[in-house]
């Protein structure tokens, strides 16, 4: 049963909005494009494990994607967490193509491709840290402990994994291709037969995990050293992608491709909320959407969000 779906993170949505509204000549644009491409590849790679997970029995497994919890000192992110009455399993998804070599005596993995070698941080250290942080989270939240396992899943089935050490069998089993998930889970089911949680306790734990999720809400403009005034305002045409839409005769009209729409300002307001502020005044919305009439702007804001604070002229709309 999927408790928390795999969705684009707030940070990824912010990157998309930034890329959309950054002028092509901006000095930091390539940096934004590269980060976005990397994060998007990661997101798509993680989708690859949804299929093998669909083979699990529906009721016994509580599945959480992209859970970001706090251990009391620092946040920790779990790509996928499986919760059962018997044990808990963390899946750390890696998207590394080509051929990788793991030396278990040295905290690094090496990817070789053609004549190049590249080093990545040791994922075994990462999953051990995640387990410790998860245990700490259980202690902080006064929950009974239960067996905790963590494995590394290679999202790309064509990745070749080699182990340098001969006596590393137990570690070798902790890194698997995503198609190997059902088999790995069958093995765990065979090892953990004692229920530590009742159905009711598990449901309460599941709710607590959901409530404990803290989405990373960083200042993306600060991260990429972009000033608000450098970004493109206005409503983007969903046909030709120019920021050219003009509100005329009760609809958005593009003077270039003559496309028309009623709701193209939704995307603009979402961009505003991701890049600048989750609340907006009528005045700021007029400026950003290139509108002149406060009444039209009010209607559009009300259509997008019926949550607001303040009265009449001081009213601000909550965009997310």
Alpha-carbon distance of 65 to 217, in angstroms, equals 17
Q: Binding to Zn ion by residue 195, rule CB under 5 A?
A: no
Burial 178-191, CB ≥16 within 10 A → b, else e: bebbeebbeebeee
Give me 299's structure tokens: 């209607």
Work out how close the CB of 242 gets to Zn ion at its nearest, in angstroms, rounded to a whole number.
Answer: 5
Of 168, 259, 261, 296, the one binding Zn ion (CB under 5 A) is 259
What is the smallest separation between the CB atom of 9 and Zn ion, expressed in angstroms? 30
101 binds Zn ion (CB under 5 A): no
CB closer to Zn ion out of 40 and 239: 239
Q: Which of 41, 47, 125, 257 binds Zn ion (CB under 5 A)?
A: 257
Q: Is 235 in the site for Zn ion (CB under 5 A)?
A: no
What tokens appear for 162 in the block? 């080699």
Binder to Zn ion among 254, 285, 289, 300 (CB under 5 A)? 254
- Shortest CB 253 distance to Zn ion, Å: 9
Nearer to Zn ion, 47 or 240 (CB): 240
> Would you report the helix, strand and coil content of the chain in percent, each value rounded to 5?
40, 25, 40
Q: Provide the minimum distance between the beta carbon of 239 and Zn ion in the complex, in angstroms, as a whole number.
A: 5
Contact between residue 244 and residue 233 where contact means Cβ atoms under 8 Å apart: no
Per the DSSP assignment, residues forming a β-bridge with 248 are 251
Number of residues in contact with Zn ion under rule CB under 5 A: 7
Residue 156 sits at φ, ψ, to 5 deg, of: -90, 110
240 binds Zn ion (CB under 5 A): yes
Token pair in block for residue 81: 């967490």
What are the residues binding Zn ion (CB under 5 A)? 237, 239-240, 254, 256-257, 259
């Amino acid at each position: 049963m999927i408790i928390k779906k795999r969705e684009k993170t707030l940070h990824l949505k912010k990157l998309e909005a930034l890329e959309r509204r950054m002028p092509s000549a901006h000095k930091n644009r390539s940096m934004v494009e590269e980060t976005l491409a990397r994060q998007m590849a990661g997101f798509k790679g993680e989708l690859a494990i949804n299929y093998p997970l669909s083979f699990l029995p529906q009721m016994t497994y509580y599945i959480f994607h992209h859970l970001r919890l706090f251990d009391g000192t620092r946040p920790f992110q779990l790509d996928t967490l499986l919760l059962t009455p018997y044990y808990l399993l963390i899946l750390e998804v890696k998207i590394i193509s080509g051929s990788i070599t793991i030396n278990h005596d040295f905290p690094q993995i090496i990817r070789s491709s053609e004549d190049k070698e590249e080093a990545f941080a040791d994922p075994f250290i990462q999953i051990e840290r995640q387990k410790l942080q998860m245990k700490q989270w259980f202690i902080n939240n006064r929950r009974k402990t239960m067996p905790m396992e963590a494995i590394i899943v290679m999202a790309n089935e064509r990745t070749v994994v080699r182990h340098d050490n001969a006596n590393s069998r137990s570690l070798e089993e902790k890194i698997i291709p995503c198609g190997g998930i059902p088999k790995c889970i069958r093995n765990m089911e065979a090892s953990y037969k004692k229920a530590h949680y009742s159905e009711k306790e598990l449901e309460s734990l599941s709710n607590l995990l959901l409530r404990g999720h803290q989405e990373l809400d960083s200042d993306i403009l600060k991260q990429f050293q972009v000033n608000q005034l450098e970004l493109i305002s206005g409503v983007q045409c969903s046909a030709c992608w120019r920021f050219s839409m003009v509100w005329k005769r009760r609809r958005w009209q593009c003077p270039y491709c003559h496309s028309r729409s009623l709701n193209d300002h939704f995307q603009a307001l979402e961009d505003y909320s991701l890049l600048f502020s989750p609340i907006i005044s009528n005045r700021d919305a007029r400026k950003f959407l290139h509108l002149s009439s406060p009444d039209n702007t009010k209607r559009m804001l009300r259509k997008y969000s019926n949550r607001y604070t303040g009265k009449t002229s001081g009213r601000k709309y909550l965009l997310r």
